Structures are given as structure tokens and as C-alpha cells.
Amino acid sequence: MEYNSLREVSPDMLTALVAGLILPPPPPPDRDVSQPEQRGMAWFRQVDADGDGFLTMDEFPRRRMFAAFDKDGDDRLSLEELARAPADLAPPRPEGIPGVETRRDVSYRKAEGEVPAWDQRLTSLDLYLPTTILEKGERRPIIVYVHGGGWRAGDKSRVDNKPGHYCRAGYIFASVNYRLSPDVKHPTHAEDVAAAVDWIMDNAERLGGDPDRVVLMGHSAGAHLVALVATDPRYLGEHDRSPADLAGVVALDSASYDLVERADDLGMRKMIGEAFGDDAEALRSASPVHHVAPGGEYPAFLVVYAPRRLRAKRESERFAEAIEKVGGDAEVLRAEGKDHAAVNADATAAGDAMGKQIDEFLRRVLRPSG
């Protein structure tokens, strides 16, 4: 393939690529690479092993950073995505938000006697608490956010401006880490999310929160996980809770409500295999849509998708329809003009139409009872 699409790529980005600021530098090429464009082109050629003009996760040198670059969520990186990434590759952790108390790395699950033990930060959460005074007997609603990253990347610190936005609205905001593949496989990811939810409900009143008004929110793989925990009763059941204990779920642009079907996608096969294995029954067990059944009790769902992601559109509509068919409450929101990354980043952007609809859903499901 002829590589000729680096004309608009930022020279600073290309310099960073080969200087090792973001990625390891390539071996010295066999021609002059004094110009940033030439350096970037040489680097891309060397890592693009199959020469198709895109980088897969296996070709990308820093696998845990892959999701930060993959703006359209198609599990491959173009030159344009690499060029756009630096602005939000490593956004600063929200610090010093006016009117918000921040508590970081709060452990919700410890590796007590388990072998092998794991990095405790992977089973911790960050709390963002409004500092405004509560009226006597008043309790705040709680939003629990689960990051994306293909079940093997991402971090709870990547929350954009969600903490400030939701705390100003009077909510407690919690962002959750969970153990990642390939170090672990299903059902560990979902078990960790359920354990975090249980910890938050157990400690809600101490934090000024209302354990009966908890919404789960997740993006991409995180959207899959919150949907799974909210439909398969086994996860919360381990903590003597059920999906009906949740007030709602906001699922931001997942294409993985049915992993049995998605495993047929050649571009996803390796990623899904590392996270869930290739056994059909395990894939079905990990698929939220296959847990929706008559008689089940589910929270209200807002299922958001980016229009250009046709699989996400199809799976979002199918999942919401399944919830509605058994008498549940599910809305589908087509995020006009958004790509995979923007569905997440713009959820709390000022004046954004999609964000306003998310806020309206939250107000509806988190309204105090009585």
C-alpha cells in the first residue's frame, strides 16, 4: 500500500512518535529521516506488519494504549487516528474541582489469600463527592462509571469532565477499575464490577449517598460490563443483591451485547478470545442480550450508539428491544454526529444534545421516590 496520508499529520506528533514520547522509536531506517513526516512514515511502515495501512492491537507497540488512539472503535488504527490522539491521549486527572472532594484509589476488593495476588489499584475506585451541605435526611444519587478499553486496557482516571458535571448536578460520581485481560478472563471483569457496586451500596450512607438510587454507566467494553451485571443476576447475587436494586444503566456505544455473534468478526476474534475464550457457552454467558428473559427484573436502560458504527447500532437496537419485549424500560439514543470516542467524551459537554438526553434520563430514574 502507498502511504501518502501523512500530509496533515502534526509534525509534533510524528516527532513524538519516533522520539519515544508516546511510542518506542523505530530502528534506524535505510534513508534520510530528518523530516518529521519521513520519520512518521518510516515508523508506520515498520510496525504495519501486513502492509494494509492500519495497525491492529497486535501490531501496535503499546497495547494498553491502543484504545486511547482508536477513535472510531473499529479495533484498528489509521494514520489519521494517530495524528489526532495527542490532545486527549493522557488527559489530566481531575484535580481541584470546585465544590468536589476527591478520594482516589479506594479499595473495593482485596487479594486476601488469593494466588496469584494482583495489583490492588485494579480493584480500586475513585470517588468524587459534592461538598454542598445536605439537608437533614437527604441522600445523594450515585453514578458508577466503568471505563472501556477492549477489556484489556483503560483506567478509571479517564473520566473527562464527568466528575464536575455530575457533582454539580448533586450526584456522587465513582469511577471503577477492574482487572484486565489477558491476565484474567471472563467472568473476572464482571465480578470485579459487581464487587465495586456492592462496596458502593454498602458505604453509600456513610458517603452521603442513597443506595437505592444507583446508576451504572460505561463506555465501550465498560458498557458491555455494566449491561452484563445489570442483566445476569449471578454477579450481584454473589453479594445478596440483584439487578433490580439498580435504578438505571447508561450504556455508551457498545457493539458487544451478543459476543456469540461478535466473535465471528475476524478483527475482534483475538481480543474476544483473550478476554472470554472461544467456547460458545462462555461467549453466550458473557452476552447481556442472552440474559434478558420473561420474569426478569431489570433497571431502566439508556442505550447510546454512534451512527456510523453499524454493528453497535444493530446490537444496541436488538438489546433494547429484548428488554422492552419482557416488559422492561429501555431507550435507544442515536448520537448524531458522534464517533465512538465522542459518545463518551461529549456525554457531559456543555450544551451537547446527546448529553442533555443523558441528563434527562438520569433525572428521571434518580428522582427520589415518594
Q: What is the pLDDT of residues 209-245, one digit of tens each?
A: 999 999 999 999 999 999 999 999 999 999 999 999 9
Burial of 34 (0-12, 13-18, 19+ CB in 10 A): exposed
Q: Are residues 44 and 120 in the same domain?
A: no
Overall domain count for the chain: 2
Domain membership of residue 126 (yes or no) is: yes
65 is written with which cell numbers? 494504549
Q: Is 94 contained in some domain? A: no
pLDDT at 93: 60
Q: In this predicted structure, which of 31-35, 257-261, 316-320 has the lowest mean pLDDT?
A: 31-35
Q: Which domain covers residue 28, as residue numbers?
A: 11-87
Is residue 107 domain-shared with residue 73, that is, in the same domain?
no
Q: Enumerate long-range contacts of 350-353, CB under 8 Å, 24 or more apart.
A: none
Using only the alpha carbons of the chain, give its radius of gyration. 21
Residue 6 lies in a domain: no
Same domain, 218 and 291: yes
Q: Which residue has the higher pLDDT, 5 or 140?
A: 140
Which pLDDT tens digit goes with each residue over 39-92? Answer: 566 667 777 777 777 888 777 766 656 766 776 777 788 776 775 554 444 445
CA angle 242, 245, 248 (to 5 degrees): 115
How confident is the model at residue 206, as a pLDDT? 95
Whether residue 21 sits in one domain with residue 131: no
Q: Are 173 and 162 in contact, with CB atoms under 8 Å apart? A: yes
83 occurs within a structural domain: yes
The tens digit of pLDDT for each residue in 261-286 reads 887 776 678 889 999 998 999 999 99
Residue 10 above 50 pLDDT? no
CATH of the domain at 309: 3.40.50.1820
Pick the last residue of a domain from 55, 87, 119.
Answer: 87
Torsion of CA 283, 287, 291, 293, to 10 degrees: -110
Of all residues in the chain, what percent carry a pLDDT higher than 90? 63
Are residues 274 and 132 both part of a single domain? yes
Residues 208 and 66 both lie in one domain: no
Residue 331 sits in the same domain as residue 253: yes
Same domain (yes/no): 255, 314:
yes
Domain-located, residue 2: no
Return the CATH number at 82.
Answer: 1.10.238
* % of the chain exceeding 70 in pLDDT: 79
For residues 32 and 53, membership in a common domain is answered with yes
Q: What are phi and psi for residue 278, nearest 5 degrees?
A: -115, 10
pLDDT band at 28 (very low <50, low <70, confident <90, very high): very low
Does residue 288 have a cis peptide bond before it, meaning omega lies within 30 degrees of 0? no
Distance (Å, rounded) from C-alpha 327 to C-alpha 299?
11
> Both 58 and 136 in a single domain?
no
Question: Does the structure show a pLDDT above 80 at 260?
Answer: yes
C-alpha cell at 57: 492491537
Q: List the end-to-end C-alpha distance of the chain, in Å, as a whole number.
A: 64
Are 57 and 170 part of one and the same domain? no
The residue from 63, 87, 111 where one domain ends is 87
Return all residues near 163 (Cβ < 8 A) that are at least 6 apart.
94, 97, 100, 102, 128, 173, 175
Please check whether residues 24 and 134 belong to one and the same domain: no
Task: Assess if residue 370 is contained within a domain.
Answer: no
Nearest Cα to Cα of residue 152 among 12, 58, 18, 255? 58
Within a domain: 95: no
Is the pLDDT at 161 greater than 80? The verdict is: yes
Residues 6+ apart with CB under 8 A from 43: 14, 17, 18, 23, 25, 26
pTM of the model: 0.79
Query: Confidence band (pLDDT; 50, 70, 90) for 38?
Result: low
Helices then strands, counting H and E runs in the chain, come out as: 14, 8
Residue 88: per-residue pLDDT: 46
In this structure, is residue 45 part of a structural domain?
yes
| Residue where one domain finishes, among candidates 87, 113, 143 | 87
